[in-house]
């Protein structure tokens, strides 16, 4: 697929803004990658190639940074992105069961995307709502005090919604 002109402009704008940043002491690579990820939700190769050209940095260096930091994604998320909190409060209230139920139901492991691209699954450390542990987040929406059965229902509803 051709790299759309609008996307090119967006990447160029991200780079220009970061290069114009007042803090000239710091390398712009990290903030550029962060902003590209904000734009796409992940780091597509086409965007990294453009950044490599504009910043005169080898593509392999950008991949090196993107692979080193956990915050970066080199694969797109699913239509529904599910995050299970595995912080201490959630762990003791059943988060491991929720993770294994989701892995079983979706047929993927944490960090993967279903083959139909509908679901992606990740875990996170304490998402800040321990009082309602265990917590999962679906596309930014928090589901607290959620049981294994409710997780199954939620996935079923999302599957039906996506059809
Ligand atoms: S440990 Fe899960 S919200 Fe804090």
List the chain pLDDT tens, one digit each, 163 residues: 456 788 888 899 999 998 887 666 678 899 999 999 988 889 999 999 999 999 999 999 999 999 999 889 898 899 999 999 999 999 999 999 999 999 999 999 998 999 999 999 999 999 999 999 999 999 989 999 999 999 999 999 999 986 6
Which two three-digit tokens encode residue 3? 């790299």
How far is the centre of ligand 1, averaged over its atoms, from the C-alpha of 112 (Å)? 22
Q: Is 135 in the pocket of ligand 1 (CB under 6 A)?
A: yes
> Measured between alpha carbons, how far apart are the two ends of the chain, in Å?
25
Q: How far is the CA of 155 from the centre of ligand 1 (A)?
A: 21
The rounded Å distance from CA 83 to ligand 1 centre is: 12
The alpha-carbon radius of gyration of the chain (Å, integer) is: 19
* Pocket flag, ligand 1, residue 146 (CB < 6 Å): no
pTM metric for this prediction: 0.72
- The answer to whether the beta carbons of residues 122 and 106 sit under 8 Å apart is no
> Residue 34 phi/psi, 5° resolution?
-60, -40
């Amino acid at each position: 697929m051709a790299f759309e002109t609008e996307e090119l402009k967006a990447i160029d704008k991200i780079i220009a803004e970061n290069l114009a940043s007042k803090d000239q002491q710091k390398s712009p690579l990290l903030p550029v990658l962060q902003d590209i990820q904000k734009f796409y939700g992940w780091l597509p190769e086409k965007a990294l190639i453009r950044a490599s050209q504009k910043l005169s940095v080898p593509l392999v260096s950008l991949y090196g940074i993107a692979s080193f930091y956990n915050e970066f994604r080199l694969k797109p998320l699913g239509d529904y992105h599910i995050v299970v909190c595995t912080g201490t409060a959630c762990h003791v209230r059943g988060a491991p069961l929720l993770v294994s139920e989701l892995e079983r139901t979706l047929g993927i492991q944490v960090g993967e995307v279903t083959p139909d691209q509908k679901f992606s699954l990740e875990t996170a450390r304490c998402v800040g709502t321990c009082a309602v542990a265990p917590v999962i987040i679906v596309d930014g929406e928090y589901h607290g005090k959620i049981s294994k059965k409710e997780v199954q229902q939620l996935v079923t509803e999302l599957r039906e919604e996506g059809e």
